[in-house]
A and B are shown apart, each in its own frame.
Chain A
Amino acid sequence: MSKEQGSNNIRNFCIIAHIDHGKSTLADRLLEYTGALSEREMVDQVLDSMDIERERGITIKAQAVRLNYTAKDGQIYELNLIDTPGHVDFTYEVSRSLAACEGALLVVDATQGVEAQTLANVYLALEHDLEIIPVINKIDLPAAQPEHVKLELADLGIDPDEAILCSAKTGEGIPAVLEAVVERIPVPSGTIDKPLKALVFDTMYDPYMGVVAYLRVMEGLIKPKMSMFLMASKKSYEVDTVGIFSPTMTPVAQLAAGEVGYVTGSIKDVKNCRVGDTITDADKPTAEPLPGYQQVKPMVFSGLYPVESADYEELRDALEKLQLNDASFVFEPEVSDALGFGFRCGFLGLLHMDVIQERLEREYNLDLVMTAPSVIYRIYLEDGDMHEISNPALFPERNEIAKIEEPYVKTTIMLPENYVGPIMELSQERRGIFKDMQYVDTDRVKLIYHIPLSEVIVDFFDQLKSRSKGYATLDYEIIGYQESNLVKLDVLIHGKPVDALSVIVHEASSYNKGQALCRKLKEYIPMQMFEVPIQAAIGTKVIARVNIKARRKNVLAKCYGGDITRKKKLLEKQKEGKKRMKSIGSVEIPQEAFMAVLRLDDED
């Protein structure tokens, strides 16, 4: 790309879609078509680079890649494709990626139509004044109904005639998509002669280069050796390299207004270079940072403990390494009477939590006990003090508490009309407050509820899917705190309170929850050599009790010469099983038991 072409030949766009609507496959096809990768280099879904992302078919980190495209008009265009995270946990990251673009491909599955996240993404894109190019994907499937999807788009205020029909799988329609990007997406507006103003829309950590900031230059230019200033974190660094993703990291001499790429500057701490920050020239700073910066706050909290207490330091190292790459993940040391030394960890949402847990177990080979997820409660004491507490074990005594507030979310659920009954029932069970119900077309409904976040993070999504046979889709956003009548439910095992099993529940459902929790724990905890009572209590009042019967007999009947090897293997297996359990007093409790509260609805 020669410099003379300037920003007239640059197009910055992203792809927004509901999970599974084919965003990554479309991105792959665009890369392939423009020759960013030869077919031989193509591994399906190049942009989803983490194993976990690929397995789950979701994008967790934003990615940016430069495509050189020769359009029908004969000119070469620099197309910067920014792949956005595809999950509600990462709405803020999505909004920053959108802010780096002038346009968006809105991918809608021709067989599924508009979904809750499609809606949420369209609203986000409109908020950022993006030019939306609707793309109806998967038209190769027999169940495709592109005409129906067009009607749905019209309902959203999008001109259905502008929709491009394509199949990212077969490649049909891909040239039309690229042409539309060139024709319809506006040229970036900034100029090169103003002071540098660049948006950080994602970061990653490289052990050699430090933080790699993904950035979109809005005004001015950035090049090596200049001194850059991060306006929110108020830190200065010398620029080491600037470059583009093509799709591998490729250094360039400079990045100018309108362009997308990366910068490194030996930034050791990801906290000093957060998503949404504005990079400017330290010697000639811009007057105002770009709008929209927020320090994202974790919403979901959980205790993480090593099964073997000797692994504590190893766990700390692993958490520190993960945090290098992920400024929205926080942790601090915590001590549990039952589990010993561990960490209280904060996540953006449940998916984020799952991903971190899986990476710890897979990449760092750690056996972990994770306590049930919780939210931050605001506890107002009788003496007027307010405490924000996420660990149920740390709740003050009931008589000291004046009132408790908990975070609420607004949930937007899209579903076929015939599942409205069961899903409304689910939302009511979860203390949802009905807000609105609209027909998006003749047989599909949009339901809006306000639901306590604590109810949404516990198995809500799975229940939503199972009660709607997989058809309902969910989007949610935090709307603030409201007072609730909450109590702490404690669990006693073999007469001893186990702090790590305490949960906060609404008073009205505390009795049922206590019963269900005891029953669930009975399923998870194997028979011990003595009878083990499990009790649920509020304060000093026991509200539920079950007994795990004692193991009465466990002995190999036969053991002769030839059996020794086999019998020993059996015993070794038994020993391995014990190792994965956490001993609490004399009772051995498997890891899953600590998440039992997530599974209370399974038995119905």
Chain B
Amino acid sequence: MKSCGLYIHIPFCLRKCNYCDFVSFTYKAELADDFLLALFSEIELLAEEYDHPILETIYLGGGTPTCLAGKVLVEILHQVAQYFPIRQGAEITCELNPATGYQTDLEMMFNGGINRLSMGVQSFIPETLEFLGRIHSVEQVYETYHAAREVGFANINLDLIFAIPRQSREDWRYSLKLALELKPEHLSLYNLKIEEGTPLYNQYVAGRLDPVDDETDLWMYQQAIRSLQMSGYEHYEISNFARPGYASKHNLGYWHYQPFLALGPGAHGFDGSKRYENASNLGQYINLLERGYLPWKGILDLARKDLLEEYMFMGLRLLRGIDLEDFEYRFGSSLMEIYSSQVQKLLDLGLIALQDGRILLTEQGLYLGNEVFVEFLL
């Protein structure tokens, strides 16, 4: 592995959102200090483990990375830069909660090398934000967004969520419209999935939530695709849209099934042949690193079967689909040798197409992606 992406998981939030099931803890200064010490030694250990590969992209995610001061985030990057060579002009993204982006921090981040922001806006409707358990207001979205622009950020993504219980079709159109008015370079639109173990799930089980029906979910998705395309965004992945040239390089790495390293509790890294999983318990994570070990809880050696399956369902998420030559180059046999009956079935169902040496989802396939992906499990 000569080069890869790097994901850094900052496991803190001021408050966890009602739909979130990622690894995150309530922010406390002492805890954050312990974490940072651990993270610093993890950076060093991991760089040695993989012999200092070149980082093509860096992504600070969470949690809420901006729980930490801008200065601290920059220190993390410095530590990374000390142990890894970083590609000239690499995309360096940081996730941002609109409630935590102060001008001074933003300046610090921008000057420290972060060149892309991903803001969790989710909705422009106060009631919806409250329902989701977001800690920020609509006003804060504007303040933070404009502050970021002023500081100089020229590549900003906004996250929005649709198919939320009690969100009307009109609500969704309204949020889309306001998001587009801000002219971000990138938009990620997610349909809400009610994950087990979240407050929303508990409400759902108790019968206090009507999940959104298929029709409405689909309508909202189609509506979004149409209005974003009309505004000049390219729909390049199931949930992602970008102005030309602004597709997320870091995330493209995942979908192209390129290797990436990962740091932080609960993070998963993939080096091309195995996947490691960090301890998600913060205490355990810190403890292992204090004793000088990488905090790996599990290592999964990926068999050819796994590599094939994952390559397929990651790659098919891209609207361009998968390059049949790339497939053959990677696996030494053609796609049709391995998946002929599946491909035929999906072609018959009209869920995929073969075009210009690529295999890709049709419009129907886009809506029913899981039905396609499941076929490629061996």
Which A residues form the contact surface with B (CB < 8 A)? 527, 529, 549, 551-562, 564-565, 567-568, 570-572, 574-575, 578
Contact = CB atoms under 8 A, between A and B. Distances in A.
Contacts of B260: 561
Contacts of A570: 370
Given A552-B218, A553-B221, A557-B193, A578 B374 contact: yes
Contacts of A552: 214-215, 217-218, 367-368
B369 interface: yes
A529 B251 CA distance: 30
B371 A554 contact: yes
A227 to B, nearest CB: 61
B220 to A, nearest CB: 10
B218 A572 contact: no
A561 B214 contact: no
Given A560-B254, A561-B7, A565-B300, A529 B277 contact: no
Interface stretch (B143-151, B267-275, B328-336): B267-275
A529 B369 contact: no
A562 B370 contact: no
Nearest to B215: A552
A414 B103 CA distance: 82
A578 B373 CA distance: 13
Interface string B243-254: 000000001011
4 closest A-B pairs by CB: A555-B369, A557-B190, A552-B214, A562-B268
Contacts of A558: 190, 193, 239
B106 interface: no
A551 B239 contact: no
Interface in B191-223: 191-193, 214-215, 217-218, 221
A567 B371 CA distance: 13
A562 B62 CA distance: 11
* B215, B351, B368: most-surrounded residue (chain A CB, <10 A): B368
Interface stretch (B40-48, B226-234, B310-318): B310-318
B268 A553 contact: no
Contacts of A564: 254, 268, 270, 275, 310, 314
Contact of A571 (B270, B275, B370): B370
Nearest to A555: B369
A134 B302 CA distance: 70
B314 A554 contact: no
B92 to A, nearest CB: 16
Nearest to A549: B214
A554 B370 contact: yes
B239 A557 contact: yes
Contacts of B295: none
Contact of B238 (A555, A572, A575): A555
29 contacts: A549-B214, A551-B214, A551-B371, A552-B215, A552-B218, A552-B367, A553-B218, A553-B367, A554-B371, A555-B367, A555-B369, A557-B190, A557-B192, A558-B193, A559-B238, A560-B251, A560-B254, A561-B7, A562-B9, A564-B268, A564-B270, A564-B275, A564-B310, A565-B268, A568-B310, A571-B370, A572-B377, A575-B377, A578-B374
A553 B214 contact: yes
Interface string B302-330: 00000001100110010000000000000
A564 B260 CA distance: 12
A572 B374 CA distance: 7
Given A529-B368, A554-B367, A568-B313, 7 more contacts: A527-B214, A551-B214, A562-B266, A562-B267, A565-B300, A568-B310, A571-B313
B238 A561 contact: no
B94 to A, nearest CB: 15
A527 B367 CA distance: 14
B156 interface: no
Contacts of B368: 529, 551-555
B309 A568 contact: yes
- From DSSP, what is the main secondary structure of chain B's interface residues? mixed
Contacts of B309: 568
A574 B373 CA distance: 10
Contacts of B373: 556, 571
A51 to B, nearest CB: 32
A256 B68 CA distance: 92
Given A561-B270, A562-B7, A564-B268, A556 B371 contact: no
A565 B367 contact: no
Given A529-B368, A565-B268, A557 B218 contact: no
Given A562-B267, A562-B268, A557 B310 contact: no
Contacts of B192: 557
Nearest to B7: A561
A556 to B, nearest CB: 6
Interface string B3-18: 0010101000000000
B44 to A, nearest CB: 21
A554 B215 CA distance: 11
Contact of B254 (A554, A557, A561): A561
B218 A565 contact: no
B374 A575 contact: yes
B349 interface: yes
B366 interface: yes
A557 B370 contact: no
Contacts of A556: 193, 238, 369-370, 373
A38 B92 CA distance: 76
A568 B309 CA distance: 9
Contacts of A559: 238, 254, 313-314, 317
Contacts of B269: 561
Interface in B139-173: none
* A558, A559, A574: most-surrounded residue (chain B CB, <10 A): A559
B375 to A, nearest CB: 9
A494 to B, nearest CB: 14
B262 interface: yes
A578 to B, nearest CB: 7
Nearest to A528: B371
Contact of B377 (A557, A560, A571): A571
Interface string B357-373: 00000000011111101
A460 B221 CA distance: 48
B176 to A, nearest CB: 16
Nearest to A586: B349
B66 to A, nearest CB: 19
Contacts of B221: 553
Contacts of A551: 214, 368, 371
Contact of B275 (A529, A549, A554, A565): A565
Contacts of A571: 313, 370, 373-374, 377
Nearest to B22: A562
Contacts of B215: 552
Contacts of B189: 557
A553 B266 contact: no
B3 to A, nearest CB: 15
A469 B351 CA distance: 51
